[in-house]
Chains A and B, each alone.
Chain A
Amino acid sequence: MASRSKLSGIQKQVLALYRGFLRTARLKSPEERHRIESVVSAEFRENARNIDRKNFVYIEYLLRRGKKQLEQLKDPDITGLSTLQINKSSSH
C-alpha cells in the first residue's frame, strides 16, 4: 500500500462510487447483498480492464451513470439488482 502512487481525482471518484455501492448493498437482504456485490464488482473489474485509462470522456460518463444507478439503488423500495446479457453481434 505504501508504495502505491497517489490516486488522481477521477480514480478517487471511481473508488468512492464503488464504496457507495458496497455500503448501499449492506442495507439489502443478505442474499441480495451478495448478488449486488458480485454484479457491481464484475462491472467495475471489467471496465477497469477494458477501458483506456485516458478516455476521460467515457469514464466520466460511466461515473455519472453509476451515480444515477446508485441513487436508484439507495431507494428502500428497491430490493435487488440484476443484469442482462445482450448479444451485440446478433442485435445488429
Chain B
Amino acid sequence: MAAVALLRRSPAARALLSPALSSRLVASKPHSSSPAPPPPSRANTKTFSIYRWDPDSPSTKPQLKDYKVDLSDCGPMVLDVLLKIKNEQDPSLTFRRSCREGICGSCAMNIDGDNGLACLTKISSASSASTISPLPHMFVIKDLVVDMTNFYSQYKSVEPWLKRKDSPPQPGKEIPQTKADRAKLDGMYECILCACCSTSCPSYWWNPEEYLGPAALLHANRLPLLGTLIKPKPNMFMHIQARGYHGVSEKRNLLDHKRRLLAAKHELKGKLYKAVCRDPDLPADMRDQFRYKLSKLPRNSSMTRLRNRCIFTGRSRAVYKKFRMSRIVFRSLANKGELLGVKKASWWIQDSRDQFTKERLDSINDEFKLYRCHTIKNCTHACPKGLNPAKHIDTLKKLQLEG
C-alpha cells in the first residue's frame, strides 16, 4: 500500500518520507526539524501568522496576518506553505527563495522564533499558529524580504579571497594543499551566507555596524583572516576614551594622583603616630592623644585609599601593575607591538595557501569587530547548515591572544 502511495506521490506519502530526508539534510538542527511529520489526516488545517508590511501603502502599519493552510495538500516544509499561500491565497506575499534545498540561503527567515531557512525547516506539528517573520533586527524592505547590504559589505570587508605574496608554484595552476590542511577548512567552507547566525546574535543586534557578526568572522577564520581595515581609526586612546570606558578617566586618575601625593606627604607622620599608639610601654593618655592626632590626619592620606588605575583609560580593574595599564589597553598595544619586550610569537594559518595571516588578524583585532562576540552561541543554534561559527570566532580570539 505504501508503495502504491509512493508511486502516486500523494502528499501524505511525501510527508511520511521526509523525516529521513530532512534528518540527513539538517542533522544538527534539532530545534526546528525534530517535530514529527504532521499526521496524515484529511483537512488538517494550520494557521500561519505572517509578518506583512508593504512600503507602497505607507499608512498601514506592519502587522501579522493569519493564513489558514490545509497541510494535507501541502509539502512538509515552511517554504511549501509560503508558496502555497502565494499561489492560492495572497499573491502579494513577498519573500526570497530560490533553490528550495538549502543551498542558496535566500529563504532565511524567523520561524516560530528561530532563525532558519524556510526550505529546510519542517512545519511545526503543534496545533497552535506558526509565526513567520523576517530576520530579526534587519531593515525590512517588504514583507519577509530584508535589507542585506550591511551584512554583505561586512562579508566583503573580510576580503574573502586568497591573498598571496608570491606566485603559485606552477604559473597558471592551482595552489596545492595537503589533505590535513584541507581538513582544517571543513566546517567553514559550507557557509551559504544566509545571515541566520548573524541576525540571531544579540551582540550583532546592538552593534550591527561595528561588530562583524558570526558569518563574516567565520569566513575571516577560513581565509587566514582579514585584509585591510574597514575604516581608519583615530588614535587608539581617543577611541577607547570616546567609547566611554568607565567615565571620565582623566579626572579619576588626577584624584588618585593627588591622593598619592598626600599619602607621601603624611606617610612619616602617620607612621610615627601609629607607632606611638601601638607602643604598650607608653602611658595610656599619651597613646590616646596620638590616637586622636592620627584620626585628625587627612582622610585621603591613607594608603588604603589608593587605587591602581590604568594610566590610559582610568580603568580600576584588571590593571597590570607592571605596565600600569588595563588588560584592554595592554592587549591592543601588545598586538600592535608597541610594548617593548612583549611580542607575539608565530602565526598559525587556517588556510595553508594564504600568506596574509598576520595582516588579516591585525585588521579584525578591534573592540567591536571581533570582541563583541560574547560567546552567546545563538549562531551555532541557528545555523541551518549545522556549522559552528562560535567555535571559529573562539579560534580567532585565541589566535589573537597567543599568536
Interface residues of A (CB under 8 A from B): 51-52, 55, 57-58, 61, 64-65, 68
Contacts and interface: CB of A to CB of B under 8 A. Distances in A.
A68 B55 contact: no
Contacts of B55: 58, 61, 65
Interface string B50-71: 0001010011011000000000
Contact of B59 (A55, A61, A65): A55
B64 to A, nearest CB: 15
B147 interface: yes
Contacts of A64: 139, 147
B149 interface: yes
18 contacts: A51-B58, A52-B58, A52-B59, A55-B58, A55-B59, A57-B53, A57-B61, A57-B62, A58-B55, A58-B58, A61-B55, A61-B139, A61-B140, A61-B141, A64-B139, A64-B147, A65-B55, A68-B149
A65 B141 CA distance: 9
Interface size class of B (residues with CB under 8 A): 10 to 19
B94 to A, nearest CB: 14
Contacts, number: 18
| Secondary structure dominating the interface of A | helix
Nearest to B56: A88
Nearest to B61: A57
A52 B55 CA distance: 14
A57 to B, nearest CB: 7
Top-8 shortest CB links A-B: A58-B58, A61-B55, A64-B139, A55-B58, A51-B58, A64-B147, A57-B62, A58-B55
Nearest to B53: A57
A80 to B, nearest CB: 23
Nearest to B55: A61
Contacts of B62: 57
A88 B38 CA distance: 42
Contacts of B140: 61
Contacts of A57: 53, 61-62
A10 to B, nearest CB: 15
Contacts of A65: 55
A70 to B, nearest CB: 13
A15 B86 CA distance: 39
Nearest to A55: B58
Interface string B167-179: 0000000000000
Interface string B134-154: 000001110000010100000
A81 B141 CA distance: 22
Contacts of B59: 52, 55
Given A58-B55, A64-B139, 16 more contacts: A51-B58, A52-B58, A52-B59, A55-B58, A55-B59, A57-B53, A57-B61, A57-B62, A58-B58, A61-B55, A61-B139, A61-B140, A61-B141, A64-B147, A65-B55, A68-B149
A61 B57 CA distance: 12
B238 to A, nearest CB: 24
A54 to B, nearest CB: 11
A65 B140 CA distance: 11
Nearest to B58: A58
Nearest to A64: B139
A52 B61 CA distance: 12
Nearest to A50: B58
A57 B140 CA distance: 10
A10 B61 CA distance: 19
Which interface residue of A51, A55, A58, A65 has the most chain B CB atoms within 10 A?
A58
Interface in B195-216: none
Nearest to A61: B55
A61 B53 CA distance: 11
Nearest to B139: A64
A52 B53 CA distance: 17
B44 to A, nearest CB: 34
Nearest to B142: A61
Contacts of A55: 58-59
Interface in B124-139: 139
Nearest to B57: A58
B52 to A, nearest CB: 13
Which interface residue of B53, B55, B58 has the most chain A CB atoms within 10 A?
B58
Contacts of B61: 57
